[in-house]
C-alpha cells in the first residue's frame, strides 16, 4: 500500500489553440509519484505548471500520452470518469476558497457530503478530529471572515484532507501568507498527508519551504526535469548560482539500482554526491574485522566529501539500500572545491559533517556492538575543534565533562599516577578523558593533553560517551579492556 503508485505519467504532451494557432505547452512529460510522497513542482511563470496540475486534477482531458492515476488510464476517459476520479483528490489553492456564508464546520462538511458513506453524525466527528489536528478546534462555528490568512489556509487543509484523499493537489498554498505562517501551513500539510498516506503535489514559487519536500521537480518551457539549482541551494547553504554559471563543469544526475555500489572504499575520490531520491548504506572495512555498517543516508544527505578533503581515497563504500532506487547529483571535484572555497557557510557545513563521519568511523571500529544509528546520533551532537602544535588541549585540574576523540594529528598525554608522572602519545582514532567518568561526578582531570602536531578533535559529552560504552557491553571483557586501556592505565 505504502509503495503504491498514485500518479504515473508517460510521454504526455499538451497543446492549446487550433490549426495555425496551435501551440505545444507540455513536452514529453514523465513523472511517477507514490503514496506518502510530498513532491514540489517549481518553474518560471508560464512554464506549464498549472496546465500539468489541471491535467492531473482531471480538470482537462488528456490529448497525447498516458496519464494514469490510481491505476486508471485517463487518456480517453469520459467526463463522468474524470468527475468520479476527482473524488479521490483534495485541493488546496492560493486563496483558501472557503465559502464565506458557511461556518468552518459547514465548509469542511461540504467535502464529506460528496463521499458515498456520508452520515451527519460521522461527519461531525471527523470535522472535530481534523480541526483538532490543524489546531483550530475552537473555531468550528466561526465564519471564514473572522479568521486570519494562515487560519483560513489551515481550514482549507482540513477540507482537503478530511476525506483522507489518495492525492492532494496544492497550487501556491502559501502565496498569500507571511513567511512563518506559510511554513507552518506547509509543515502541517506535510505531517497530515504522511499520517493519512496521501501523496501531495504542490506547485510553489516559495523557496522558503523547499526543504520540506521529499522531491522537487522543475518545469521549464513545458519540459520536466530535476530542480538541480534548488537542490544545490538546499544542500550547500552558500550555493551561488552565478558561480555555477562560471564553472567549467555542471552537475549531472545518475540513477543506481537496488544494491548497486556508488563509491567503493580504497578507490580514488574524484566526485561529490548529493542524494536526490532513495536510500543508501555506508559500509567500512577495517583490518581484521568484519565489514561494518556505519550509516544510512536518505534524501537531504550528501556523501563523498571525506575522500575529497582527506587523502583523495574513498574511506568507505556507499551502496544502494535493498529495494531502493537512487538518484544522485554528481559534482566533479573542481566544482565541489569551488563551492567550498567560495562560501564559508558551505565549507563549515561540509567540515562539520566530515568530522562527524570520521568520528563515526573511529567509534564504530572501537565499539563493534553498538548500533550504528546510536553512534551517528552522538556524532551529530558532538563538536569538532582544532589545536595548533604545542597548544594545551586539557589542563590538569580542569573539570572533566567530556571525552576527546582524535581525528587527525598526535596528542601527548601526561598523567600523574600515585605521585609518578607518565607520558603517552595518542594518535588518530584514539581518545582520552577523565578517569573517574563512570560514577557520574565531575572530578577534576588528572591528565594534561598537549597537541604534538596540528590536531583535530571531537569533544564528546561525557554522559553520551558513557552510554555508548555501556551499550557495547555484550562483551564485558572488551568493555573492561577498552576502559582499562584508554582511561585507567595510560
Output 27 or 283, the one with its CB closest to ligand ATP: 27
Task: Tell me if 43 contacts ligand ATP by CB under 6 A.
Answer: yes
- Output the smallest distance, CB 148 to ligand ATP, in A: 25
- If binding is defined by CB under 6 A, does position 14 make contact with ligand ATP? no
Determine, following the binding rule CB under 6 A, whether residue 225 of this chain makes contact with ligand ATP: no
Look at residues 401, 311, 402, 405 and name the one whose alpha carbon lies nearest to residue 365.
405
Can you say whether the dihedral through the CA atoms of 9, 25, 62, 165 is positive or negative? positive
Taking CB under 6 A as the criterion, the residue among 24, 25, 124, 247 binding ligand ATP is 25
Alpha helical stretches, state H, 343-454: 344-366, 372-381
Interface pick for ligand ATP out of 7, 29, 42, 50 (rule CB under 6 A): 50
How big is the site for ligand ATP, counted in residues (CB under 6 A)?
11
Q: Which is nearest to 3 in space by CA: 260, 325, 366?
A: 325
CB of 227 to ligand ATP, least distance (A): 14
CB of 26 to ligand ATP, least distance (A): 8
The three-class DSSP label of residue 159 is helix
Give yes or no for residue 48 binding ligand ATP (CB under 6 A). yes
Reference 31, options 224, 299, 258; nearest CA is: 224
Q: Residue 49 interacts with ligand ATP (CB under 6 A)?
A: yes
> For ligand ATP, which stretch binds (CB under 6 A), given 48-56, 63-71, 248-256, 351-359?
48-56
Does residue 16 belong to the site contacting ligand ATP (CB under 6 A)? yes
Task: Tell me how far, at minimum, the Cβ of 17 lies from ligand ATP, in Å.
Answer: 6
Contact at 8 Å (CB) between 446 and 489?
A: no
From the list 40-48, 387-395, 408-416, 434-442, the region that binds ligand ATP by CB under 6 A is 40-48
Helix, strand or coil for residue 479?
helix
Q: Please check whether residue 11 is in contact with residue 65, taking contact to mean a CB–CB distance below 8 angstroms.
A: yes
Shortest distance in whole angstroms from residue 206 CB to ligand ATP: 12
- Cα distance between residue 227 and residue 275, in whole Å: 13
The span of 46-54, 116-124, 189-197, 356-364 binding ligand ATP (CB under 6 A) equals 46-54
CA 463 to chain centroid: 28
The DSSP 8-state label assigned to residue 76 in this structure reads: T
Rg (CA), the chain: 28
- State yes or no: residue 118 binds ligand ATP (CB under 6 A): no
Q: Taking a C-beta distance cutoff of 8 angstroms, is the pair 413, 467 a contact?
A: no
Q: How far is the CB of 221 from ligand ATP (least distance, A)?
A: 9
List the alpha helices (DSSP H) in 77-142: 79-86, 104-113, 120-133
CB of 120 to ligand ATP, least distance (A): 38
Q: Which stretch binds ligand ATP (CB under 6 A): 44-52, 108-116, 276-284, 340-348?
A: 44-52
Report the interface residues with ligand ATP, using CB under 6 A.
16-17, 25, 43, 45-51
Amino acid at each position: 500500500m505504502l509503495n503504491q503508485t498514485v500518479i504515473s505519467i508517460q510521454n504526455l504532451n499538451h497543446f492549446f489553440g487550433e490549426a495555425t494557432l496551435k501551440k505545444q505547452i507540455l513536452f514529453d512529460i514523465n513523472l511517477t509519484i507514490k503514496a506518502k510522497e510530498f513532491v514540489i513542482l517549481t518553474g518560471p511563470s508560464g512554464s506549464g505548471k498549472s496546465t500539468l496540475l489541471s491535467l492531473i486534477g482531471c480538470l482537462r482531458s488528456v490529448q497525447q500520452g498516458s496519464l494514469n492515476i490510481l491505476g486508471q488510464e485517463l487518456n480517453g476517459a469520459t467526463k463522468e470518469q474524470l468527475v468520479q476520479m476527482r473524488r479521490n483528490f483534495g485541493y488546496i489553492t492560493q486563496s483558501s476558497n472557503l465559502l464565506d456564508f458557511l461556518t468552518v464546520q459547514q465548509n469542511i462538511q461540504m467535502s464529506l457530503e460528496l463521499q458515498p458513506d456520508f452520515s451527519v453524525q460521522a461527519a461531525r466527528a471527523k470535522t472535530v478530529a481534523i480541526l483538532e489536528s490543524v489546531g483550530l478546534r475552537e473555531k468550528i462555528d466561526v465564519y471564514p471572515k473572522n479568521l486570519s490568512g494562515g487560519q483560513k489556509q489551515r481550514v482549507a487543509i482540513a477540507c482537503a484532507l478530511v476525506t483522507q484523499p489518495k492525492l492532494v493537489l496544492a497550487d501556491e498554498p502559501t502565496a498569500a501568507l507571511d513567511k512563518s505562517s506559510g511554513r507552518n501551513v506547509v509543515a502541517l500539510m506535510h505531517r497530515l498527508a504522511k499520517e493519512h498516506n496521501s501523496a501531495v503535489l504542490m506547485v510553489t514559487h516559495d523557496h522558503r519551504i523547499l526543504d520540506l519536500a521529499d522531491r522537487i521537480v522543475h518545469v521549464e518551457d513545458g519540459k520536466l526535469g530535476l530542480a538541480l539549482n534548488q537542490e544545490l541551494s538546499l544542500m550547500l547553504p552558500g550555493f551561488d548560482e552565478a558561480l555555477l554559471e562560471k564553472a567549467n563543469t555542471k552537475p549531472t544526475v545518475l540513477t543506481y539500482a537496488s544494491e548497486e555500489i556508488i563509491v567503493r572504499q580504497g578507490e580514488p575520490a574524484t566526485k561529490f554526491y548529493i542524494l536526490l531520491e532513495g536510500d543508501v548504506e555506508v559500509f567500512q572495512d577495517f583490518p581484521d574485522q568484519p565489514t561494518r555498517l556505519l550509516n544510512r543516508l536518505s534524501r537531504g544527505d550528501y556523501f563523498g566529501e571525506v575522500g575529497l578533503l582527506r587523502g583523495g581515497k574513498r574511506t568507505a563504500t556507499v551502496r544502494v539500500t535493498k529495494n531502493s532506487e537512487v538518484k544522485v547529483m554528481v559534482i566533479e571535484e573542481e566544482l565541489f572545491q569551488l563551492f567550498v572555497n567560495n562560501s564559508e557557510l558551505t565549507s563549515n557545513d561540509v567540515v562539520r559533517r566530515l568530522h562527524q563521519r570520521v568520528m563515526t568511523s573511529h567509534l564504530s571500529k572501537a565499539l563493534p556492538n553498538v548500533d550504528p544509528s546510536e553512534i551517528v546520533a552522538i556524532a551529530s551532537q558532538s563538536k569538532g575543534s582544532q589545536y595548533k602544535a604545542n597548544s594545551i588541549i586539557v589542563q590538569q585540574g580542569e573539570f572533566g565533562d567530556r571525552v576527546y576523540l582524535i581525528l587527525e594529528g598526535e596528542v601527548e598525554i601526561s598523567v600523574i599516577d600515585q605521585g609518578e608522572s607518565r607520558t603517552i602519545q595518542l594518535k588518530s582514532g584514539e581518545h582520552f578523558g577523565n578517569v573517574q567518568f563512570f560514577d557520574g561526578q565531575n572530578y577534576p582531570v588528572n591528565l594534561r593533553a598537549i597537541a604534538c602536531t596540528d590536531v583535530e578533535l571531537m569533544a564528546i559529552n561525557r554522559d553520551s560517551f558513557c552510554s555508548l560504552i555501556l551499550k557495547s557491553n555484550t562483551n564485558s571483557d572488551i568493555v573492561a579492556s577498552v576502559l582499562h586501556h584508554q582511561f585507567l592505565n595510560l
